Amino acid sequence: MIDKKAKVVVCGGGGFIGGHLVSDLLRQGYTDIRSVDIKPFDEWYQHFPQIENIQLDLQEKPACDKALKGAKVVYNLAADMGGMGFIENNKCLCMLSVLINTHLCMAAKENGVDRYFYASSACVYNGEKQKDPNVTALKEEDAYPALPEDGYGWEKLFSERMCRHFREDFGLKTRVARYHNVYGPHGTFEGGREKAPAAICRKVIHSKLSGDHSIEIWGDGHQTRSFMYISDCLKGTQTLTWSDFVEPINIGSSEMVSINQLVDIVEAIGGIKLQRNYNLSAPKGVNGRNSDNTLIKKVFGWEPDTRLRDGLEKTYRWIYDQMADRYPGAKSRATSIPAGAR
């Protein structure tokens, strides 16, 4: 670990994971934090006036130079991305994020950055290994031979290689994590970029408060995933950043569920049962994906371990609070959520 007075830069700090990371760094006592994001400040998911906040387009090299001036630690969480509905329909925008990592790596090398963390994704894994909902959990070596998610996955895999070669050729201490579906409060839950946990929470809450007791599910509901709660993501990220482990590593929960089972859990939290309508033409991604945590347990003696039900309860409560005032006569959260979920 470094002196907590050293400058830490969180790229994508106005986003979901970035905002939580800044909050956690402040909790740990870091005093010189710079948060950088392309979004206007009023669109940041979390905003901390006590740190340095900068609005920059990190696709541009001069912006990366400015962002990393004086930095000792860099967390690159910046990308143009979203849930499956976004990445399947915006492949070029996802690919252009390669400029962010490329220019940040160059700026990190030039500024003498001590540690550089890159947030990759489980979307780098070979699609041929993800055709069955009863998928064998994906190990790190399953990224090759390469056949990642088109667009977003290819950008992530290329950027992983960029980090590797900056480490091997220039000595930049890069660390790469493959995130598996991070969720939690203070995240996107509507607008087209949301991921499945937040989308399902929103739909259940809408059905509950509107009286329309039906829900649209993308695909047939049998596709499987694992979902990692934000606190586990933060722990894994910072543990990896300060370790001596240099290869890409899974940071994800191994608790796999189908989308139908995900809906079951959120319905139970909301205390409601809904009519399910399946949209078979909607984006649904691969049929099955789960995180094999053999390596992270071997290297760190730990793996993400927040139960999906526990994380979803916290996420549901937060999204409910954001939505309740849209519905005249909606009950307070305390009386609308069953006692077992509080």
What is the number of alpha carbons within 13 Å of residue 233 lying toward its C-beta?
26
Residue 75 CA to residue 21 CA, distance in Å, equals 9
- The vertex-216 CA angle with 213 and 219, nearest 5°, equals 150
CA distances from residue 263 to 97, 269, 289, 291, 338 in whole angstroms, order as listed:
32, 10, 17, 20, 16
> Is there a contact between 106 and 58 (Cβ–Cβ < 8 Å)?
no
Catalytic residue flag (residue 327): no
Residue 260 CA to residue 54 CA, distance in Å, equals 41
Q: Active site residue: 116, 152, 179, 316, which one?
A: 152
DSSP-assigned beta bridge partners for residue 73: 8, 115
Residue 146 CA to residue 128 CA, distance in Å, equals 10
Residue 189 CA to residue 45 CA, distance in Å, equals 11
3-class DSSP assignment, residue 115: strand
Residues contacting 49, CB < 8 A, separation 6+:
none
DSSP-assigned beta bridge partners for residue 225: 257
DSSP 291: B
Residue 147 CA to residue 228 CA, distance in Å, equals 24
Residue 125 CA to residue 111 CA, distance in Å, equals 32
Residue 137 CA to residue 230 CA, distance in Å, equals 21
Other C-beta atoms lying within 10 Å of the C-beta of residue 62:
11
Concatenated DSSP letters of 229-270: EHHHHHHHHHHHHTSS--S-EEES---EEEHHHHHHHHHHHH
Identify residue 162 by its one-letter amino acid code.
M
Q: Which residues are catalytic?
A: 152
